[in-house]
């Protein structure tokens, strides 16, 4: 099986690696390579199902289960992925609106069940493989999908001869591996789950050391409720196709070791000794959610098609430490693993990362005081002491949007924090924020922060940008400056409707920054309920630019 994917390029899949391509018009997987003989066909599951009390196999599908008569769970011979020609599995559901408990999903077990009355599951030894790949598309972007590779330790229905003390679904100790909050796009797209990269749900209560591919149980796509940034969870309706599910054999990509050094001279940023302009995109959501929204390897690859040289990744300090209110089950190390995986994905695509301390101290909400403290200095000292973050391709943005009217105090915090970072041996480029919500950097012209490789951050937004010359354009003549956000925004004093996408504002800002010799990153690559008021610059997770995203995309592609 071979084809070309727009993101991954040429794809070749050995026949023995294919799990299901639906070319035989059957919901049963191919029985080959020691798997599939006597196994159940593709199945669906959901909250509201009635299961047999002994076998735990679904007997009556609930209303949101794709196998319910009102929904669709069948091979459609008129649809197919790019690698096949005779059909794909069509799956629909109205979605379950129940808070955190509503879900539905579908998948395939690799082995038959035992012949005993309880019919427990058996494990497949997938040691020679490196992961699972598949193609899928939905009528509209399907968000909050948890694409999973389930192993025996994390499946409560496993036979006791395989795992003597199974985990418990009722006690929430089955914390399965995969990629949480993924988005399946409206276009046929190729998705890869490498065993070495899948992580357990960061909201779990117990954590292992990695998926056991020698005891692999199932591949599943588990759909959670639609959980927007604001508001309450709602039904996550979907209408999707899946095709050409197979095992991967190639090793997962690794992050190459690349030495990058930074310096500044006058108003120039220098990367490896050469004058350099940072031009990139901002990827929010990890500052309010443990796994982020729709951040996957494929999402990063789609960002790369716009030709940015850096991605600004927003994080929260209290999620990092595991102390965020409202996220009690998201422990710090689990969140840290999620963040580091995303950073590796970005670096593997040849882009730098701006590590942005975005939400601070206030739990899941923004800290409206806007005054950094010694605790935030401690955060950066910890980051700088981690060998992972000493990589020169990672840029430190110290504090998103401070609003301290005491400019000397703000500058002193920035200086103290830079000194703490340098004391840990981290020589990364450091971004120092201005006041007035990271807008005005004029104070630093006469009072620069010292420590080497320092640049200054501004956030010009149209509703307050009447004194741009004083705030950042004149300073940019002598200081190295980067606008890590800009454009329009929905705030209480300046309502911007989700559909109010004024492209001229973004074209003007890009021209203004380029004229001043500034660097910039554009907020934000996300699909959000506030739309252009967020502001989001894509229309969908396929990476289609909306009106304000088009001038950003054009500028990035013209300056690779």
The CATH code of the domain that includes 25 is: 2.60.120.430
Any domain includes 254: no
Minimum mean pLDDT among 100-104, 252-256, 422-426: which range?
A: 100-104
Q: What is the 8-class DSSP label of residue 345? A: H
Biggest alpha carbon–alpha carbon distance for the chain: 80
Q: Which residues contact 515 (CB under 8 A, 6 or more apart)?
A: none
Question: Which backbone phi and psi does 16 adopt, to 5 degrees?
Answer: -70, -15
Instruction: Note the pLDDT of residue 204.
Output: 84
Q: Do residues 225 and 285 share a domain?
A: no
| Rounded Cα gap, residues 321 and 333, in angstroms | 8
> Is residue 147 predicted with pLDDT exceeding 70?
yes
Element spanning 530, H or E: none
Q: Do residues 465 and 345 share a domain?
A: yes
Over pLDDT 90: what percentage of the chain?
82
Measured on CA atoms in the order 252, 429, 258, 310, is the torsion positive or negative? positive
Residue position matching structure tokens 């911007």: 496
Instruction: Note the pLDDT of residue 525.
Output: 98
Instruction: Note the pLDDT of residue 368.
Output: 52
Average pLDDT over residues 305-327: 87
DSSP letter for each residue of 35-73: B-TT---SEEEETT-EE-TTT--EEE--TTSTTSTTS-E
Listed residue (220, 216, 221, 247) closest to 151, CA to CA? 216
Question: Which backbone phi and psi does 379 adopt, to 5 degrees?
Answer: -55, -50
Residue position matching structure tokens 């201005």: 434
Any domain includes 255: no
Distance between terminal CA atoms of the chain?
35
Instruction: Note the pLDDT of residue 497.
Output: 85
Count of other CB atoms within 10 angstroms of residue 92:
19
| Rounded Cα gap, residues 313 and 293, in angstroms | 12
Band (50; pLDDT cuts 50, 70, 90):
very high
Average pLDDT over residues 160-182: 92
Domain count, the chain: 2
Here the CATH number for the domain that contains residue 467 is 3.20.20.80
Instruction: Note the pLDDT of residue 360.
Output: 63
Average pLDDT over residues 443-449: 97
- Whether cis (ω within 30° of 0) applies to the bond prior to 524 is yes
Residue position matching structure tokens 């509503």: 102
Residue 240 and residue 92 in contact, taking contact as beta carbons nearer than 8 Å? yes
> Which domain covers residue 421, as residue numbers?
270-558
Which residue(s) pair with 104 in the sheet? Answer: 46, 223
Q: Which of 248, 282, 299 is the last residue of a domain?
A: 248
Any domain includes 154: yes
Residue 144 and residue 181 in contact, taking contact as beta carbons nearer than 8 Å? yes
Instruction: Note the pLDDT of residue 232.
Output: 85
Q: Do residues 152 and 119 share a domain?
A: yes
| Rounded Cα gap, residues 393 and 357, in angstroms | 17
Count of other CB atoms within 10 angstroms of residue 234:
16
pTM summary value: 0.95
Residue 401 has, within 13 A of its CA and on its CB side, a CA count of 15
> Is residue 438 predicted with pLDDT exceeding 90?
yes
Q: Which of 197, 217, 248 is the last residue of a domain?
A: 248
Residue 486 and residue 509 in contact, taking contact as beta carbons nearer than 8 Å? yes
pLDDT tens per residue across span 357-405: 998 654 334 455 688 989 899 999 999 999 999 999 999 999 999 988 8
Q: Do residues 70 and 182 share a domain?
A: yes
Q: Do residues 199 and 299 share a domain?
A: no
Q: Do residues 218 and 275 share a domain?
A: no
Average pLDDT over residues 153-158: 95
Any domain includes 148: yes
Q: What is the dihedral of CA 396, 402, 407, 413, to 10 degrees?
A: -40
> Is residue 323 predicted with pLDDT exceeding 80?
no
Any domain includes 427: yes
Q: Do residues 106 and 224 share a domain?
A: yes
Instruction: Note the pLDDT of residue 362.
Output: 43
Instruction: Note the pLDDT of residue 5.
Output: 86
| Rounded Cα gap, residues 188 and 1, in angstroms | 16
In whole angstroms, how far apart are CA 459 and each of 351, 355, 402, 468, 487?
Answer: 22, 16, 11, 10, 9
Any domain includes 423: yes
Average pLDDT over residues 58-66: 96
Q: Which residues of 407-438 are buried (b: 16+ CB within 10 A; e: fewer)?
A: eeebbebbbebbebbbebebbbbbbbbbbbbb
Q: Do residues 113 and 218 share a domain?
A: yes
Residue 104 and residue 45 in contact, taking contact as beta carbons nearer than 8 Å? yes
DSSP letter for each residue of 424-463: TT----EEEE-HHHHTB-THHHHS---SSSEEEEE--BGG
Instruction: Note the pLDDT of residue 164.
Output: 93
Q: Do residues 40 and 144 share a domain?
A: yes
Band (327; pLDDT cuts 50, 70, 90):
low
Q: Do residues 371 and 504 share a domain?
A: yes
Any domain includes 211: yes
> Is residue 556 predicted with pLDDT exceeding 50?
yes
Over pLDDT 70: what percentage of the chain?
97
Q: Which residues contact 467 (CB under 8 A, 6 or more apart)?
A: none
Count of other CB atoms within 10 angstroms of residue 328:
10
Question: Which backbone phi and psi does 187 adopt, to 5 degrees?
Answer: -110, 150
Measured on CA atoms in the order 367, 369, 372, 378, is the torsion positive or negative? negative
pLDDT tens per residue across span 329-341: 688 999 999 999 9
| Rounded Cα gap, residues 349 and 61, in angstroms | 43
| Rounded Cα gap, residues 22 and 77, in angstroms | 9
Band (559; pLDDT cuts 50, 70, 90):
confident
Any domain includes 540: yes
Q: Would you say how long the chain is, in residues?
A: 560
Instruction: Note the pLDDT of residue 365.
Output: 41
Q: Return mean pLDDT, the chain.
A: 93
Higher pLDDT, 81 or 100: 81
Q: Do residues 365 and 335 share a domain?
A: yes
Q: Do residues 275 and 382 share a domain?
A: yes
Q: Which of 248, 278, 308 is the last residue of a domain?
A: 248
pLDDT tens per residue across span 468-489: 999 999 999 999 999 999 999 8
């Amino acid at each position: 099986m071979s084809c070309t994917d727009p993101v991954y390029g040429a794809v070749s899949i050995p026949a023995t690696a294919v799990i299901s391509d639906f070319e035989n018009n059957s919901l049963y997987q191919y029985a080959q390579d020691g798997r599939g003989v006597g196994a159940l066909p593709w199945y669906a599951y959901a909250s509201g199902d009635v299961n047999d009390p002994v076998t735990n196999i679904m007997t009556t599908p609930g209303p949101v289960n794709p196998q319910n008569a009102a929904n669709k769970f069948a091979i459609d011979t008129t649809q197919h992925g790019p690698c096949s020609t005779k059909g794909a599995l069509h799956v629909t559901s109205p979605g379950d609106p129940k808070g955190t408990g509503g879900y539905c999903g579908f998948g395939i077990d690799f082995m038959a069940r035992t012949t005993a009355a309880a019919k427990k599951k058996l494990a497949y030894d997938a040691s020679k493989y490196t992961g699972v790949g598949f193609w899928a598309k939905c009528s509209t972007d399907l968000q909050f999908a948890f694409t999973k590779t389930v192993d025996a330790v994390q499946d409560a229905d496993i036979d006791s001869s395989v795992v003597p003390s199974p985990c418990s679904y009722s006690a929430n100790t089955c914390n399965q591996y995969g990629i949480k909050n993924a988005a399946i796009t409206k276009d046929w797209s190729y998705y890869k789950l490498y065993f070495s990269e899948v992580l357990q749900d960061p909201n779990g209560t117990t954590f292992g050391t990695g998926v056991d591919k020698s005891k692999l149980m199932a591949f599943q796509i588990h759909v959670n409720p639609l959980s927007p940034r604001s508001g309450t969870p709602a039904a996550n309706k979907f209408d999707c196709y899946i095709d050409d599910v197979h095992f991967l054999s190639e090793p997962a990509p690794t992050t190459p070791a690349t030495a990058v050094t930074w310096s500044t001279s006058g108003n120039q940023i220098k990367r490896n000794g050469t004058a350099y302009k940072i031009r990139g995109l901002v990827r929010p959501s990890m500052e309010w959610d443990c796994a982020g929204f729709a951040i996957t390897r494929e999402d990063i690859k789609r960002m790369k098609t716009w030709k940015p040289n850096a991605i600004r990744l927003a994080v929260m300090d209290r999620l990092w430490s595991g102390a965020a209110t409202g996220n009690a089950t998201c422990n710090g190390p689990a969140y840290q693993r999620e963040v580091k995986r995303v950073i590796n994905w970005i670096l593997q695509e040849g882009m730098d990362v701006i590590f942005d301390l975005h939400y601070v101290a206030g739990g899941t909400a923004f800290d409206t005081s806007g005054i950094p403290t010694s605790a935030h200095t401690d955060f950066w000292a910890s980051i700088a002491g981690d060998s992972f973050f000493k990589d020169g391709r990672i840029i430190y943005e110290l504090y998103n949007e401070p609003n301290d009217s005491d400019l000397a105090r703000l500058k002193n915090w920035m200086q103290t924090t830079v000194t703490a970072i340098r004391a840990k041996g981290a020589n990364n480029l450091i971004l120092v924020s201005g006041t007035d919500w990271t807008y005005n950097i004029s104070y630093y012209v006469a009072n620069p922060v010292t420590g080497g490789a320092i640049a200054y951050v501004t956030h010009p937004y149209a509703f307050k940008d009447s004194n741009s010359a004083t705030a950042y354009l004149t300073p940019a003549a002598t200081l190295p400056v980067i606008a890590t956000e800009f454009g329009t925004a929905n705030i209480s004093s300046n309502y911007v409707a989700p559909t109010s996408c004024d492209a001229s504002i973004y074209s003007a800002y890009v021209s203004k920054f380029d004229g001043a010799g500034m660097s910039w990153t554009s907020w934000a690559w996300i699909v959000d309920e506030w739309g252009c008021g967020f502001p989001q610059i894509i229309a969908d997770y396929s990476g289609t630019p909306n009106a304000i995203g088009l001038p950003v995309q054009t500028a990035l592609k013209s300056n690779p």
